[in-house]
Amino acid sequence: MRRGALPALLLGAVLTLVSGCSGDDDGKGGKKVPDGPSQAVVNIAPKDGSGNVATSGALKVTAEKGTISSVKVADDKGHTIDGKIADGGAAWEPTTHLAASTKYTVDAIAKDKEGRTSAKHAAFTTLTPDNTFAAYFTPEDGSTVGVGMPVSLNFSRGITDPKAVEKAIKVTAEPAVEIKGHWFGNDRLDFRPEKYWAAGTKVTMTMDLNGVQGREGVYGTQNKTVKFTVGRSQVSTVDAETHQMAIVRDGKPLKTIPISAGGPGHSTYNGQMVISEKLEVTRMDGRTVGFGGEYDIPDVPHAMRLSTSGTFLHGNYWSGSSTFGSENVSHGCVGLEDERGAGDPSTPAAWFFNQSLIGDVVIVKNSHDKTIQPDNGLNGWNMSWAEWNKDS
């Protein structure tokens, strides 16, 4: 036993000696990093201490004689900026814009070909814009809307860089559905899915416009999240020829109501229209919509706007009961029988008003008029999905 113990001890010592003399292992199974300074050089633009820095295109991190391994860009509240490594590891660029009037810090690390690291820190402040634009949006945060409700944004200044602005606005839905944006001119951007929203859908719109240059020298200022819920499905179809409106709720017929549409020379637009506003009582003056002094009714009850140009579905107390279901006598609106003052909940107009949500769809057919323009109200549903996506 003593003769056998000595060779075992000697063998252990030899193994220990061999293991300890290995010069190309870092103790973790990898190549040992040689001593000495890193050959990699990190460059950060803009320079440390810079001010009035542009919110897009100015920030870039590069590495000479090495590759970027990590970059962290954060504002003074700890919010970080996403970015990506490019040029085979030689550069890093942000994937989004920076906020205006904000101080940022940059901490970057690069490695040379031997694995030795080099780090650099810099801080800078972005510009404070002299001119800004704002986005006015619908629907409101926390609202419950109908299945036809788009997300619609109107900008206070005409946008000449729509790509930058649209990139800063995200609209998502649960359950998920493809949603695309479409520009009407240079000051309005709407988002919708291919078909009406499914009942119960929860929609989130996020604006990250602070620092976005919408046109030369004009920057956005808003960062905001808006959430709304799609309620039950209600689609009502007005037949101007039969003078009837059929209401379908969640795919099932709910009720049919006699109506009076636009009369000769003042016919109602055809097409899919979305209720964008509900007014229990409102004034309607023909001079505001190009009809001169043909009418001025100070107390129109149960009015629901269908177009920007003045098309409403509303109560009518001044025409006889026999009008509804038999004649078209309006100046382009759709009228339902009602009582003056909007105080009688049993009238057809009051019932429909109380059953309707902003965002509900009203379809007009068989009228002697053209189809309404998609930008006349929230009526982008009158465009095919292919047309809608042309400017997306």
Q: Which domains does the chain have, with CATH numbers?
A: 41-126 (2.60.40.3780), 131-231 (2.60.40.3710), 234-379 (2.40.440.10)
333 is catalytic: yes
Tokens describing residue 18 = 């061999």
Asked whether the predicted pLDDT for residue 11 surpasses 60, the reply is no
Decide: 144 and 231 in contact? Cβ < 8 Å.
yes
Instruction: Spot the catalytic one: 97, 182, 314, 331.
Output: 314
21 is catalytic: no
- What is the pTM for the complete model shown? 0.86
Distance (Å, rounded) from C-alpha 166 to C-alpha 226?
A: 16
Which whole number is the average pLDDT over 184-208?
Answer: 98
Distance (Å, rounded) from C-alpha 277 to C-alpha 242?
A: 26
Cα–Cα nearest to 76, from 51, 103, 54, 55: 103
Rounded to whole angstroms, the maximal C-alpha distance in the chain is 125
**DSSP conformation class of 195:** S
Instruction: Give the model's confidence band at 245: pLDDT under 50 very low, under 70 low, under 90 confident, else very high.
Output: very high
Asked whether the predicted pLDDT for residue 115 surpasses 90, the reply is yes
Distance (Å, rounded) from C-alpha 218 to C-alpha 212?
A: 8
Task: Give per-residue pLDDT as tens, 13-59.
Answer: 333 323 332 334 444 455 678 888 999 999 999 999 999 999 999 99
Percent share of the chain, pLDDT over 70: 89
Which whole number is the average pLDDT over 361-385?
Answer: 98
Instruction: Give the model's confidence band at 289: pLDDT under 50 very low, under 70 low, under 90 confident, else very high.
Output: low
Task: Give per-residue pLDDT as tens, 273-282.
Answer: 999 999 999 9
Task: Give per-residue pLDDT as tens, 139-155.
Answer: 999 999 999 999 999 99
What does the mean pLDDT of the chain come to? Answer: 91
Asked whether the predicted pLDDT for residue 307 surpasses 60, the reply is yes
Which whole number is the average pLDDT over 256-283?
Answer: 96
At 351 the three-state DSSP class reads helix
Cα–Cα nearest to 60, from 29, 24, 95: 95
Task: Give per-residue pLDDT as tens, 47-100.
Answer: 999 999 999 999 999 999 999 999 999 999 999 999 999 999 999 999 999 999
Asked whether the predicted pLDDT for residue 162 surpasses 70, the reply is yes
Q: So what's the pLDDT on residue 5?
A: 44
Burial class from Cβ neighbours inside 10 Å (0-12, 13-18, 19+) for residue 51 reads exposed
Q: So what's the pLDDT on residue 203?
A: 98
